[in-house]
Amino acid sequence: MSDSTVPSAPRASGAPGEPSAPRASGAPGEPGTPAARPAPYPPGVPPVSDVPGTAPGDAPRATHASGLQPTAPLPPVTRPTAPTAPRAPRSIYVPRPGVVAWSILSVLAAALFAVSVPLNAGIYGVPVAAAFLLGVLQCGSILLAVQLPKAAIVTSLIPVVAVPLLAQAVDAPWPWPVAGLIAQCAVLVVIGLRNPWRLSAVAWALSVAASVVVSVAHVDHLGGAITSIILFASISAPLLALAVLLAQRENAREQLHHERQLTAAEQGRRELVEERNRIARELHDVVAHSMSVIQVQATTAPYRLPGMDAATTAEFTDIAASARAAMREMRRLLGVLREDDTSGELAPQPQLSAVPELATSARRAGVPVSLEIENGLTDGTAQVPETTAVAAYRIVQEALSNVIRHAPQAPTAVRIERAADATLGAALHLTIANDAASRSTVAPGVGSDTPPLAATDSGGHGLLGMRERAALLGGHIRFGSTDAGGYTVEAWLPLDAAGIQTAATHPADTASDAESEPS
Protein backbone atom coordinates (compact mmCIF):
# COMPACT_ATOMS: atom_id res chain seq x y z
CA MET A 1 0.00 0.00 0.00
CA SER A 2 1.26 3.45 -0.81
CA ASP A 3 2.20 5.98 1.83
CA SER A 4 -0.67 8.13 0.81
CA THR A 5 -3.14 5.35 1.34
CA VAL A 6 -5.60 6.06 4.09
CA PRO A 7 -5.78 3.06 6.50
CA SER A 8 -9.21 1.50 6.46
CA ALA A 9 -9.10 0.02 9.99
CA PRO A 10 -8.63 1.92 13.24
CA ARG A 11 -5.48 1.34 15.18
CA ALA A 12 -5.75 -0.02 18.74
CA SER A 13 -3.51 1.08 21.49
CA GLY A 14 -0.62 -1.41 21.83
CA ALA A 15 3.03 -1.56 21.25
CA PRO A 16 4.37 1.36 19.32
CA GLY A 17 4.32 0.69 15.60
CA GLU A 18 2.62 -2.68 15.95
CA PRO A 19 -0.67 -3.01 14.23
CA SER A 20 -3.48 -4.23 16.32
CA ALA A 21 -5.88 -6.87 15.09
CA PRO A 22 -9.52 -6.01 15.29
CA ARG A 23 -11.40 -7.51 18.15
CA ALA A 24 -13.87 -10.24 17.42
CA SER A 25 -17.43 -9.38 18.15
CA GLY A 26 -18.73 -11.22 21.17
CA ALA A 27 -22.17 -12.00 22.23
CA PRO A 28 -24.72 -9.33 21.89
CA GLY A 29 -24.79 -7.03 24.82
CA GLU A 30 -21.37 -8.14 26.05
CA PRO A 31 -19.48 -5.33 27.69
CA GLY A 32 -16.50 -4.08 25.79
CA THR A 33 -17.74 -5.38 22.48
CA PRO A 34 -17.59 -2.60 19.91
CA ALA A 35 -20.65 -2.05 17.68
CA ALA A 36 -20.38 -3.00 14.04
CA ARG A 37 -19.50 0.03 11.88
CA PRO A 38 -20.26 0.20 8.16
CA ALA A 39 -17.32 0.21 5.82
CA PRO A 40 -16.48 3.76 4.75
CA TYR A 41 -15.91 2.64 1.12
CA PRO A 42 -17.36 -0.13 -1.06
CA PRO A 43 -15.64 -3.48 -0.69
CA GLY A 44 -12.65 -3.99 -2.94
CA VAL A 45 -12.34 -0.32 -3.90
CA PRO A 46 -9.19 1.19 -2.42
CA PRO A 47 -9.34 4.88 -1.61
CA VAL A 48 -7.07 7.15 -3.58
CA SER A 49 -5.96 10.67 -2.95
CA ASP A 50 -4.60 11.57 -6.39
CA VAL A 51 -7.56 13.62 -7.44
CA PRO A 52 -7.27 15.22 -10.82
CA GLY A 53 -7.33 18.95 -10.66
CA THR A 54 -5.84 19.23 -7.18
CA ALA A 55 -3.23 21.90 -7.01
CA PRO A 56 0.17 20.97 -5.59
CA GLY A 57 0.39 21.67 -1.90
CA ASP A 58 -3.37 21.34 -1.34
CA ALA A 59 -4.60 18.98 1.33
CA PRO A 60 -5.49 15.66 -0.27
CA ARG A 61 -9.19 14.88 -0.59
CA ALA A 62 -10.34 11.30 -0.10
CA THR A 63 -11.85 10.06 -3.33
CA HIS A 64 -13.03 6.65 -4.41
CA ALA A 65 -11.34 4.95 -7.26
CA SER A 66 -14.71 4.79 -8.96
CA GLY A 67 -14.62 8.58 -9.34
CA LEU A 68 -17.22 9.39 -6.70
CA GLN A 69 -16.50 12.52 -4.78
CA PRO A 70 -18.19 13.94 -1.71
CA THR A 71 -20.95 16.35 -2.68
CA ALA A 72 -20.31 19.99 -1.81
CA PRO A 73 -23.01 21.72 0.30
CA LEU A 74 -25.68 23.48 -1.79
CA PRO A 75 -26.03 27.24 -1.52
CA PRO A 76 -29.05 28.47 0.42
CA VAL A 77 -32.23 28.75 -1.64
CA THR A 78 -33.41 32.33 -2.05
CA ARG A 79 -36.85 33.18 -3.31
CA PRO A 80 -36.98 35.75 -6.10
CA THR A 81 -38.60 38.89 -4.88
CA ALA A 82 -41.27 40.44 -7.07
CA PRO A 83 -40.40 43.90 -8.33
CA THR A 84 -42.14 46.48 -6.26
CA ALA A 85 -44.09 49.12 -8.08
CA PRO A 86 -42.76 52.63 -7.60
CA ARG A 87 -44.69 54.62 -5.10
CA ALA A 88 -46.79 57.39 -6.41
CA PRO A 89 -45.56 60.76 -5.26
CA ARG A 90 -47.55 62.12 -2.39
CA SER A 91 -49.77 64.98 -3.31
CA ILE A 92 -48.85 68.18 -1.58
CA TYR A 93 -51.81 69.86 0.05
CA VAL A 94 -52.05 73.47 -0.96
CA PRO A 95 -54.57 75.30 1.20
CA ARG A 96 -56.91 77.74 -0.44
CA PRO A 97 -56.37 81.47 0.14
CA GLY A 98 -59.57 81.69 2.17
CA VAL A 99 -58.40 78.95 4.53
CA VAL A 100 -55.04 80.67 4.96
CA ALA A 101 -56.68 84.02 5.72
CA TRP A 102 -59.05 82.49 8.28
CA SER A 103 -56.15 80.66 9.94
CA ILE A 104 -54.06 83.82 10.23
CA LEU A 105 -56.94 85.84 11.65
CA SER A 106 -57.83 83.08 14.13
CA VAL A 107 -54.26 82.85 15.41
CA LEU A 108 -54.04 86.64 15.71
CA ALA A 109 -57.34 86.84 17.60
CA ALA A 110 -56.33 84.07 20.00
CA ALA A 111 -52.94 85.67 20.69
CA LEU A 112 -54.48 89.10 21.32
CA PHE A 113 -57.11 87.58 23.62
CA ALA A 114 -54.40 85.85 25.65
CA VAL A 115 -52.59 89.17 26.05
CA SER A 116 -55.46 91.64 26.45
CA VAL A 117 -57.31 89.89 29.31
CA PRO A 118 -54.41 89.83 31.82
CA LEU A 119 -53.25 93.24 30.61
CA ASN A 120 -56.63 94.88 31.22
CA ALA A 121 -57.21 93.07 34.50
CA GLY A 122 -53.71 93.35 35.95
CA ILE A 123 -52.42 96.72 34.76
CA TYR A 124 -55.54 98.78 34.13
CA GLY A 125 -57.54 97.32 37.03
CA VAL A 126 -60.55 96.25 34.97
CA PRO A 127 -62.65 93.61 36.78
CA VAL A 128 -61.74 90.09 35.66
CA ALA A 129 -65.20 89.20 34.34
CA ALA A 130 -65.41 92.45 32.42
CA ALA A 131 -61.87 91.91 31.09
CA PHE A 132 -62.86 88.50 29.72
CA LEU A 133 -66.03 89.86 28.13
CA LEU A 134 -64.28 92.85 26.60
CA GLY A 135 -61.48 90.60 25.32
CA VAL A 136 -63.99 88.36 23.55
CA LEU A 137 -65.69 91.37 21.92
CA GLN A 138 -62.43 92.99 20.93
CA CYS A 139 -60.75 89.89 19.48
CA GLY A 140 -63.92 88.41 18.05
CA SER A 141 -64.47 91.58 16.02
CA ILE A 142 -61.48 90.60 13.87
CA LEU A 143 -63.23 87.43 12.67
CA LEU A 144 -66.64 89.12 12.54
CA ALA A 145 -65.34 91.80 10.17
CA VAL A 146 -64.92 89.20 7.41
CA GLN A 147 -68.66 88.62 6.98
CA LEU A 148 -70.42 91.34 8.99
CA PRO A 149 -68.35 94.52 8.79
CA LYS A 150 -70.97 96.85 10.31
CA ALA A 151 -71.51 94.57 13.29
CA ALA A 152 -67.75 94.28 13.70
CA ILE A 153 -67.46 98.08 13.89
CA VAL A 154 -69.99 98.22 16.74
CA THR A 155 -68.47 95.33 18.72
CA SER A 156 -64.94 96.70 18.32
CA LEU A 157 -65.95 100.15 19.63
CA ILE A 158 -67.44 98.72 22.83
CA PRO A 159 -64.01 97.83 24.34
CA VAL A 160 -62.60 101.14 23.10
CA VAL A 161 -65.13 102.96 25.26
CA ALA A 162 -65.50 100.48 28.15
CA VAL A 163 -61.82 99.87 29.00
CA PRO A 164 -61.00 103.54 29.81
CA LEU A 165 -64.24 103.92 31.79
CA LEU A 166 -63.63 100.76 33.90
CA ALA A 167 -59.90 101.27 34.35
CA GLN A 168 -58.66 102.03 37.89
CA ALA A 169 -55.09 103.01 37.00
CA VAL A 170 -53.73 104.95 34.08
CA ASP A 171 -50.00 104.44 34.51
CA ALA A 172 -49.90 102.49 31.23
CA PRO A 173 -50.59 103.85 27.70
CA TRP A 174 -53.92 105.65 27.74
CA PRO A 175 -56.64 105.33 26.38
CA TRP A 176 -55.31 102.77 23.89
CA PRO A 177 -53.76 99.64 25.42
CA VAL A 178 -51.23 97.97 23.17
CA ALA A 179 -53.40 94.89 22.62
CA GLY A 180 -56.46 97.05 21.95
CA LEU A 181 -54.57 99.22 19.46
CA ILE A 182 -53.38 96.13 17.50
CA ALA A 183 -56.86 94.56 17.55
CA GLN A 184 -58.54 97.74 16.28
CA CYS A 185 -55.98 98.11 13.49
CA ALA A 186 -56.63 94.51 12.47
CA VAL A 187 -60.38 95.15 12.33
CA LEU A 188 -59.86 98.23 10.16
CA VAL A 189 -57.54 96.37 7.79
CA VAL A 190 -60.03 93.52 7.30
CA ILE A 191 -62.86 95.99 6.66
CA GLY A 192 -60.70 97.90 4.18
CA LEU A 193 -59.80 94.75 2.24
CA ARG A 194 -63.37 93.51 1.81
CA ASN A 195 -65.55 96.61 1.64
CA PRO A 196 -65.79 99.98 -0.13
CA TRP A 197 -63.47 102.69 1.05
CA ARG A 198 -66.32 104.80 2.44
CA LEU A 199 -67.21 102.21 5.06
CA SER A 200 -63.55 101.86 5.98
CA ALA A 201 -63.20 105.61 6.41
CA VAL A 202 -66.30 105.71 8.63
CA ALA A 203 -64.90 102.92 10.82
CA TRP A 204 -61.58 104.73 11.24
CA ALA A 205 -63.27 108.04 12.06
CA LEU A 206 -65.52 106.40 14.67
CA SER A 207 -62.53 104.72 16.31
CA VAL A 208 -60.63 108.03 16.62
CA ALA A 209 -63.73 109.89 17.83
CA ALA A 210 -64.50 107.27 20.49
CA SER A 211 -60.95 107.42 21.84
CA VAL A 212 -61.16 111.23 21.99
CA VAL A 213 -64.47 111.16 23.86
CA VAL A 214 -63.36 108.65 26.52
CA SER A 215 -60.04 110.45 27.09
CA VAL A 216 -61.83 113.17 29.01
CA ALA A 217 -62.64 110.62 31.73
CA HIS A 218 -59.20 111.31 33.21
CA VAL A 219 -58.40 114.94 32.59
CA ASP A 220 -55.19 114.76 34.60
CA HIS A 221 -53.77 112.32 31.97
CA LEU A 222 -54.99 114.25 28.97
CA GLY A 223 -51.48 114.76 27.59
CA GLY A 224 -50.75 111.04 27.50
CA ALA A 225 -54.17 110.41 25.97
CA ILE A 226 -53.48 112.82 23.10
CA THR A 227 -50.15 111.11 22.45
CA SER A 228 -51.83 107.70 22.40
CA ILE A 229 -54.58 108.91 20.05
CA ILE A 230 -52.01 110.40 17.68
CA LEU A 231 -50.05 107.16 17.76
CA PHE A 232 -53.18 105.14 16.92
CA ALA A 233 -54.14 107.47 14.08
CA SER A 234 -50.63 107.50 12.59
CA ILE A 235 -50.46 103.69 12.60
CA SER A 236 -54.02 102.81 11.58
CA ALA A 237 -54.38 105.39 8.77
CA PRO A 238 -51.50 104.07 6.56
CA LEU A 239 -52.56 100.48 7.17
CA LEU A 240 -56.15 101.27 6.21
CA ALA A 241 -55.03 103.17 3.10
CA LEU A 242 -52.87 100.24 2.02
CA ALA A 243 -55.79 97.81 2.53
CA VAL A 244 -58.11 100.01 0.48
CA LEU A 245 -55.57 100.25 -2.35
CA LEU A 246 -55.14 96.48 -2.42
CA ALA A 247 -58.91 96.00 -2.48
CA GLN A 248 -59.32 98.44 -5.36
CA ARG A 249 -56.50 96.74 -7.24
CA GLU A 250 -58.25 93.37 -6.85
CA ASN A 251 -61.54 94.87 -7.99
CA ALA A 252 -59.85 96.36 -11.04
CA ARG A 253 -58.34 92.97 -11.84
CA GLU A 254 -61.74 91.26 -11.62
CA GLN A 255 -63.32 93.90 -13.84
CA LEU A 256 -60.51 93.50 -16.35
CA HIS A 257 -61.02 89.73 -16.38
CA HIS A 258 -64.75 90.23 -16.89
CA GLU A 259 -64.14 92.64 -19.74
CA ARG A 260 -61.76 90.16 -21.35
CA GLN A 261 -64.44 87.48 -21.18
CA LEU A 262 -66.96 89.82 -22.78
CA THR A 263 -64.45 90.75 -25.46
CA ALA A 264 -63.73 87.08 -26.20
CA ALA A 265 -67.47 86.33 -26.43
CA GLU A 266 -67.99 89.30 -28.76
CA GLN A 267 -65.04 88.21 -30.87
CA GLY A 268 -66.49 84.71 -31.16
CA ARG A 269 -69.88 86.14 -32.11
CA ARG A 270 -68.26 88.37 -34.73
CA GLU A 271 -66.34 85.43 -36.18
CA LEU A 272 -69.57 83.42 -36.33
CA VAL A 273 -71.32 86.22 -38.20
CA GLU A 274 -68.39 86.54 -40.59
CA GLU A 275 -68.43 82.79 -41.22
CA ARG A 276 -72.15 82.89 -41.91
CA ASN A 277 -71.70 85.73 -44.35
CA ARG A 278 -68.88 83.86 -46.09
CA ILE A 279 -71.05 80.76 -46.47
CA ALA A 280 -73.93 82.90 -47.73
CA ARG A 281 -71.69 84.54 -50.33
CA GLU A 282 -70.38 81.15 -51.50
CA LEU A 283 -73.89 79.73 -51.75
CA HIS A 284 -75.04 82.79 -53.65
CA ASP A 285 -72.08 82.76 -56.02
CA VAL A 286 -72.14 79.03 -56.77
CA VAL A 287 -75.55 77.49 -56.16
CA ALA A 288 -77.94 80.40 -56.67
CA HIS A 289 -76.33 81.34 -59.98
CA SER A 290 -76.53 77.78 -61.27
CA MET A 291 -80.16 77.43 -60.21
CA SER A 292 -81.00 80.69 -61.93
CA VAL A 293 -79.45 79.44 -65.15
CA ILE A 294 -81.40 76.18 -64.90
CA GLN A 295 -84.64 78.03 -64.30
CA VAL A 296 -84.09 80.41 -67.22
CA GLN A 297 -83.11 77.62 -69.62
CA ALA A 298 -86.05 75.43 -68.64
CA THR A 299 -88.50 78.32 -68.95
CA THR A 300 -87.28 79.47 -72.35
CA ALA A 301 -86.79 76.00 -73.81
CA PRO A 302 -90.25 75.83 -75.51
CA TYR A 303 -89.52 79.15 -77.22
CA ARG A 304 -85.92 78.37 -78.13
CA LEU A 305 -86.61 74.84 -79.34
CA PRO A 306 -89.80 74.87 -81.41
CA GLY A 307 -91.50 71.66 -82.35
CA MET A 308 -91.46 70.01 -78.89
CA ASP A 309 -94.39 67.81 -78.01
CA ALA A 310 -96.65 68.42 -75.03
CA ALA A 311 -94.88 65.89 -72.77
CA THR A 312 -91.49 67.51 -73.31
CA THR A 313 -92.93 70.95 -72.72
CA ALA A 314 -94.53 69.77 -69.47
CA GLU A 315 -91.19 68.25 -68.41
CA PHE A 316 -89.38 71.55 -68.92
CA THR A 317 -92.18 73.34 -67.07
CA ASP A 318 -91.73 71.01 -64.09
CA ILE A 319 -87.95 71.59 -64.17
CA ALA A 320 -88.47 75.34 -64.10
CA ALA A 321 -90.95 75.06 -61.21
CA SER A 322 -88.53 72.90 -59.22
CA ALA A 323 -85.71 75.37 -59.85
CA ARG A 324 -87.87 78.28 -58.67
CA ALA A 325 -88.81 76.36 -55.51
CA ALA A 326 -85.14 75.58 -54.86
CA MET A 327 -84.27 79.23 -55.32
CA ARG A 328 -86.92 80.24 -52.78
CA GLU A 329 -85.49 77.75 -50.30
CA MET A 330 -82.00 79.02 -51.02
CA ARG A 331 -83.12 82.61 -50.51
CA ARG A 332 -84.63 81.71 -47.14
CA LEU A 333 -81.45 79.85 -46.16
CA LEU A 334 -79.30 82.82 -47.11
CA GLY A 335 -81.50 85.06 -44.99
CA VAL A 336 -81.00 82.78 -42.00
CA LEU A 337 -77.24 82.74 -42.48
CA ARG A 338 -77.05 86.52 -42.77
CA GLU A 339 -79.15 87.16 -39.65
CA ASP A 340 -77.57 87.31 -36.23
CA ASP A 341 -80.60 85.76 -34.57
CA THR A 342 -82.69 82.72 -35.56
CA SER A 343 -85.91 84.53 -36.37
CA GLY A 344 -85.75 83.12 -39.90
CA GLU A 345 -86.28 79.63 -38.50
CA LEU A 346 -89.80 80.63 -37.47
CA ALA A 347 -90.96 80.63 -41.09
CA PRO A 348 -93.61 78.04 -42.00
CA GLN A 349 -92.15 74.57 -42.40
CA PRO A 350 -93.46 71.73 -44.60
CA GLN A 351 -95.85 69.31 -42.90
CA LEU A 352 -97.11 65.79 -43.59
CA SER A 353 -99.76 67.22 -45.87
CA ALA A 354 -96.98 68.08 -48.34
CA VAL A 355 -95.69 64.48 -48.59
CA PRO A 356 -97.98 63.66 -51.57
CA GLU A 357 -96.28 66.45 -53.48
CA LEU A 358 -92.96 64.71 -52.90
CA ALA A 359 -94.38 61.50 -54.31
CA THR A 360 -95.73 63.37 -57.34
CA SER A 361 -92.33 64.97 -57.99
CA ALA A 362 -90.64 61.58 -57.74
CA ARG A 363 -93.11 60.09 -60.25
CA ARG A 364 -92.35 62.91 -62.68
CA ALA A 365 -88.65 62.03 -62.31
CA GLY A 366 -89.44 58.48 -63.46
CA VAL A 367 -89.71 56.69 -60.08
CA PRO A 368 -92.99 54.79 -59.60
CA VAL A 369 -93.95 55.68 -56.03
CA SER A 370 -96.82 54.14 -54.11
CA LEU A 371 -97.85 56.30 -51.15
CA GLU A 372 -99.86 55.09 -48.17
CA ILE A 373 -100.61 57.48 -45.32
CA GLU A 374 -102.82 56.60 -42.38
CA ASN A 375 -106.07 58.52 -42.18
CA GLY A 376 -105.92 61.57 -39.97
CA LEU A 377 -102.21 62.32 -40.38
CA THR A 378 -102.53 64.78 -43.25
CA ASP A 379 -105.84 66.46 -42.53
CA GLY A 380 -104.96 67.55 -38.99
CA THR A 381 -107.24 65.06 -37.23
CA ALA A 382 -104.36 63.29 -35.53
CA GLN A 383 -102.27 65.36 -33.13
CA VAL A 384 -98.78 65.26 -34.63
CA PRO A 385 -96.17 67.62 -33.13
CA GLU A 386 -94.87 70.14 -35.61
CA THR A 387 -91.24 69.12 -35.12
CA THR A 388 -92.12 65.48 -35.75
CA ALA A 389 -94.04 66.40 -38.93
CA VAL A 390 -91.13 68.47 -40.26
CA ALA A 391 -88.62 65.70 -39.50
CA ALA A 392 -90.86 63.12 -41.19
CA TYR A 393 -91.19 65.28 -44.30
CA ARG A 394 -87.41 65.82 -44.53
CA ILE A 395 -86.68 62.09 -44.05
CA VAL A 396 -89.11 61.11 -46.83
CA GLN A 397 -87.70 63.85 -49.06
CA GLU A 398 -84.11 62.69 -48.58
CA ALA A 399 -85.01 59.01 -49.03
CA LEU A 400 -86.82 59.69 -52.32
CA SER A 401 -83.88 61.84 -53.49
CA ASN A 402 -81.54 58.91 -52.83
CA VAL A 403 -83.82 56.62 -54.85
CA ILE A 404 -83.80 59.07 -57.77
CA ARG A 405 -79.99 59.32 -57.68
CA HIS A 406 -79.02 55.70 -56.98
CA ALA A 407 -81.97 53.60 -58.20
CA PRO A 408 -83.84 55.49 -60.90
CA GLN A 409 -87.15 53.97 -62.04
CA ALA A 410 -87.04 51.46 -59.17
CA PRO A 411 -90.52 50.83 -57.69
CA THR A 412 -90.70 52.55 -54.31
CA ALA A 413 -93.23 52.24 -51.52
CA VAL A 414 -93.74 54.97 -48.92
CA ARG A 415 -95.82 54.21 -45.85
CA ILE A 416 -96.56 56.58 -42.93
CA GLU A 417 -98.56 55.29 -39.99
CA ARG A 418 -98.89 55.42 -36.25
CA ALA A 419 -97.36 52.51 -34.36
CA ALA A 420 -96.34 51.49 -30.87
CA ASP A 421 -92.63 51.46 -30.14
CA ALA A 422 -90.98 49.77 -27.15
CA THR A 423 -88.87 52.84 -26.44
CA LEU A 424 -91.04 55.75 -27.53
CA GLY A 425 -94.52 54.39 -26.91
CA ALA A 426 -96.78 56.16 -29.42
CA ALA A 427 -94.62 56.80 -32.48
CA LEU A 428 -94.86 57.83 -36.10
CA HIS A 429 -93.51 54.99 -38.24
CA LEU A 430 -91.99 55.83 -41.63
CA THR A 431 -91.06 53.18 -44.21
CA ILE A 432 -89.45 54.00 -47.55
CA ALA A 433 -88.49 50.86 -49.47
CA ASN A 434 -87.37 50.56 -53.06
CA ASP A 435 -86.68 47.55 -55.21
CA ALA A 436 -83.46 46.91 -57.04
CA ALA A 437 -82.97 49.05 -60.09
CA SER A 438 -82.51 47.34 -63.45
CA ARG A 439 -79.13 47.99 -65.03
CA SER A 440 -80.86 48.82 -68.31
CA THR A 441 -82.86 51.59 -66.71
CA VAL A 442 -79.92 53.27 -64.99
CA ALA A 443 -79.11 56.55 -66.68
CA PRO A 444 -75.50 56.94 -67.78
CA GLY A 445 -73.43 58.84 -65.24
CA VAL A 446 -76.14 58.60 -62.59
CA GLY A 447 -76.25 55.11 -61.26
CA SER A 448 -74.02 53.07 -63.54
CA ASP A 449 -70.85 53.98 -61.68
CA THR A 450 -72.46 54.47 -58.32
CA PRO A 451 -72.11 51.48 -55.97
CA PRO A 452 -75.19 50.42 -54.02
CA LEU A 453 -75.50 51.75 -50.50
CA ALA A 454 -74.31 49.33 -47.85
CA ALA A 455 -76.08 48.69 -44.59
CA THR A 456 -73.29 50.34 -42.67
CA ASP A 457 -72.94 53.32 -44.96
CA SER A 458 -73.35 56.41 -42.82
CA GLY A 459 -70.84 58.71 -44.39
CA GLY A 460 -73.24 60.50 -46.71
CA HIS A 461 -74.68 63.80 -45.60
CA GLY A 462 -78.20 62.64 -46.48
CA LEU A 463 -78.15 59.53 -44.28
CA LEU A 464 -76.35 61.42 -41.54
CA GLY A 465 -78.91 64.21 -41.70
CA MET A 466 -81.79 61.73 -41.39
CA ARG A 467 -80.13 60.11 -38.40
CA GLU A 468 -79.53 63.45 -36.70
CA ARG A 469 -83.12 64.58 -37.26
CA ALA A 470 -84.44 61.42 -35.64
CA ALA A 471 -81.93 61.56 -32.77
CA LEU A 472 -82.72 65.18 -31.91
CA LEU A 473 -86.36 64.22 -31.39
CA GLY A 474 -85.48 61.16 -29.33
CA GLY A 475 -86.43 58.74 -32.11
CA HIS A 476 -84.32 56.26 -34.00
CA ILE A 477 -83.79 55.26 -37.62
CA ARG A 478 -82.61 52.15 -39.43
CA PHE A 479 -81.52 51.88 -43.05
CA GLY A 480 -79.75 49.32 -45.19
CA SER A 481 -79.86 47.20 -48.32
CA THR A 482 -82.19 44.23 -48.66
CA ASP A 483 -81.40 40.71 -49.83
CA ALA A 484 -83.13 41.41 -53.16
CA GLY A 485 -80.83 44.34 -53.86
CA GLY A 486 -83.19 47.11 -52.82
CA TYR A 487 -82.91 49.58 -49.99
CA THR A 488 -85.12 50.32 -46.97
CA VAL A 489 -85.30 53.26 -44.60
CA GLU A 490 -87.34 52.91 -41.42
CA ALA A 491 -87.74 55.67 -38.85
CA TRP A 492 -89.65 55.95 -35.58
CA LEU A 493 -90.41 59.47 -34.39
CA PRO A 494 -92.15 60.29 -31.10
CA LEU A 495 -95.73 61.50 -31.08
CA ASP A 496 -95.58 62.47 -27.41
CA ALA A 497 -94.61 66.11 -26.81
CA ALA A 498 -93.05 65.21 -23.45
CA GLY A 499 -90.68 62.76 -25.12
CA ILE A 500 -89.67 65.39 -27.66
CA GLN A 501 -89.02 67.92 -24.88
CA THR A 502 -86.86 65.40 -22.98
CA ALA A 503 -84.85 64.64 -26.10
CA ALA A 504 -84.33 68.34 -26.74
CA THR A 505 -83.09 68.76 -23.16
CA HIS A 506 -80.54 65.93 -23.56
CA PRO A 507 -79.51 66.00 -27.22
CA ALA A 508 -76.13 64.40 -26.51
CA ASP A 509 -77.75 61.29 -25.06
CA THR A 510 -80.13 60.85 -27.98
CA ALA A 511 -77.31 61.42 -30.45
CA SER A 512 -75.22 58.72 -28.78
CA ASP A 513 -78.18 56.37 -28.85
CA ALA A 514 -78.61 57.02 -32.55
CA GLU A 515 -74.96 56.29 -33.18
CA SER A 516 -75.29 52.95 -31.39
CA GLU A 517 -78.45 52.03 -33.36
CA PRO A 518 -77.58 49.22 -35.76
CA SER A 519 -77.72 50.28 -39.35
Within 10 A of 31 (CB to CB), how many other CB atoms are there?
5
Three-state secondary-structure class, residue 284? helix
User: Phi-psi region for residue 279, left (φ > 0), alpha (ψ -120 to 50) or beta?
Assistant: alpha
For 328-377, give the secondary structure using H, E and C.
Answer: HHHHHHHHHHHCCCCHHHHCCCCCHHHHHHHHHHHHHCCCCEEEEECCCC
40 contacts: CB under 8 Å, gap ≥ 6: 8, 47
Q: Give the Cα separation of 90 and 276 in Å (integer).
A: 51
| pLDDT single digits (tens) 308-351 | 888 888 888 889 888 888 887 777 777 666 655 444 444 566 78
Q: Give the Cα separation of 64 and 46 in Å (integer).
A: 7
Q: What band does 9 get if pLDDT is binned at 50, 70 and 90?
A: very low
Q: Give the Cα separation of 362 and 412 in Å (integer).
A: 10
Q: Give the Cα separation of 450 and 402 in Å (integer).
A: 11
Q: Which residue has the higher pLDDT, 48 or 249?
A: 249
pTM > 0.85: yes or no: no
- Chain-centre distance for alpha carbon 309: 67
Q: What is the mean pLDDT of the chain?
A: 75
4 contacts: CB under 8 Å, gap ≥ 6: 49, 50, 60
Q: Which residue has the higher pLDDT, 332 or 122?
A: 122
Q: Give the Cα separation of 519 and 510 in Å (integer).
A: 16
Residue 373 has pLDDT above 50, yes or no: yes
Q: Per mean pLDDT, which range of 115-124, 179-188, 465-474 is the poorest?
A: 465-474
Element (H, E) at 489: strand 487-494
372 contacts: CB under 8 Å, gap ≥ 6: 413, 414, 415, 416, 417
- Per-residue pLDDT at 510: 43
